[in-house]
Chain A
Amino acid sequence: MKAVAALLAGLMFGAGLAFSGMLDSARVLGFLDVAGAWDPRLAFVLAGAVAVSAIGYAVARRMPHPVLAERFEIPAARPIDGRLLGGAALFGVGWGLAGFCPGPAIAAISLGLPKALSFLAAMLVGMGLYAAPWKFLFWNAGTSTQTPASSSALPLD
């Protein structure tokens, strides 16, 4: 049942991205180009999404647990650190270069655009590159006296 709910949520997310026009990287870049012919439409998409999502979080606070799961898996409050800001900055450069972020990149698969598919393939490689050093550090932690993987041990390059 959890998977059925997730499938439905995914369908709505993908349809919402397509309906809003946010699969179009040119429109996204038009929003980011504040010094050119600025296109404010992405702001309306984000405002609409955040407003409804916020209602969801407000309702969730009054529920002991989600309908189909034992507990809410919401990230615990952590300090704002270099990893967060550094990662967001790298993401910002990539987003500004191509006009794609992960949601639209995946949702645009069916359109079969070579450049969009190349972006997606490279994005998955980038995610894998991030995961690889993590695993390496975990394997070492069990067999050596190295300090456990800390956020500062993560290579940024």
Chain B
Amino acid sequence: MTTFTPYLPSLAGGLLIGLSAALLLLLDGRIAGVSGIAGALLQRPARENVWRGAFIVGLVLGPVLLAALRGQWPVVHVLASWPTPVIAGLLVGFGTRLGSGCTSGHGVCGLARLSPRSVAAVVTFMAVAVATVFVGRHLIGFDA
């Protein structure tokens, strides 16, 4: 904790995510917002859905490619017990569409272009998520 080294993979991964957002903007003129891209794919068939489908395919294959290069899969824990993942998924799906964005669209892209709406959204979902974890872990005490 006393050195910067443990944070380097996080920072490097973040730089790659930012590069992805910059690439999609400068080449295709689009915001790299995952909930918006996935939501539009569900909502209507359209010509513009070809690039959206391609982005999602890339998003799924990205970790596979990285795992092939590194020779190891990422370590992923899911702490939530049933049926919390289902309830949480419904809230995240509906909420990100209603609020026009998630951690990528409002976070990575919205904060980068200093959109007041995105700043308000990020502050709101961060604060509510922190409050949810606080209530869940420290007041109620379930494993989330």
A contact residues vs B (CB 8 Å cutoff)? 2-26, 29, 32-36, 40-42, 44-57, 59-60, 63, 65-75, 77-80, 83-103, 105-111, 113, 115-116, 118-131, 134, 154, 156
Contact = CB atoms under 8 A, between A and B. Distances in A.
Contact of B99 (A21, A24, A85): A85
A18 B128 CA distance: 25
Contact of A6 (B54, B115, B126): B54
A96 B127 CA distance: 10
B93 to A, nearest CB: 2
Interface string B45-84: 0000011111111111111111100000111111110101
A98 B54 CA distance: 27
Interface of B: 6-7, 9-32, 34-35, 38-39, 42-43, 50-67, 73-80, 82, 84-100, 102-104, 106-109, 111-113, 115-117, 120-122, 124-134, 136-138, 144
Contact of A85 (B21, B61, B112, B124): B124
Contacts of A102: 34-35, 38, 92-93, 96, 102-104
A132 to B, nearest CB: 10
A129 B97 CA distance: 10
B66 A92 contact: no
Contacts of B134: 33-35
B99 A99 contact: no
Given A16-B17, A91-B91, A131-B39, A9 B113 contact: no
Contact of B29 (A45, A66, A86): A66
Given A10-B61, A97-B84, 17 more contacts: A2-B51, A6-B24, A7-B57, A10-B55, A16-B16, A19-B66, A33-B133, A69-B28, A77-B116, A84-B117, A92-B95, A94-B89, A94-B93, A96-B136, A100-B88, A101-B34, A115-B82
A116 B60 CA distance: 13
A22 to B, nearest CB: 7
Contacts of B9: 19-21
A47 B63 contact: no
Contact of A87 (B15, B16, B97): B97
30 contacts: A3-B54, A6-B54, A10-B56, A11-B61, A15-B62, A16-B15, A18-B13, A18-B66, A21-B9, A35-B137, A49-B107, A50-B107, A52-B19, A60-B25, A68-B28, A68-B29, A87-B96, A87-B97, A87-B98, A89-B125, A91-B95, A91-B128, A97-B87, A100-B88, A105-B89, A106-B38, A119-B88, A122-B85, A125-B90, A127-B39
Contact of B17 (A20, A66, A123): A20
Given A49-B14, A97-B88, A127-B94, A13 B58 contact: yes
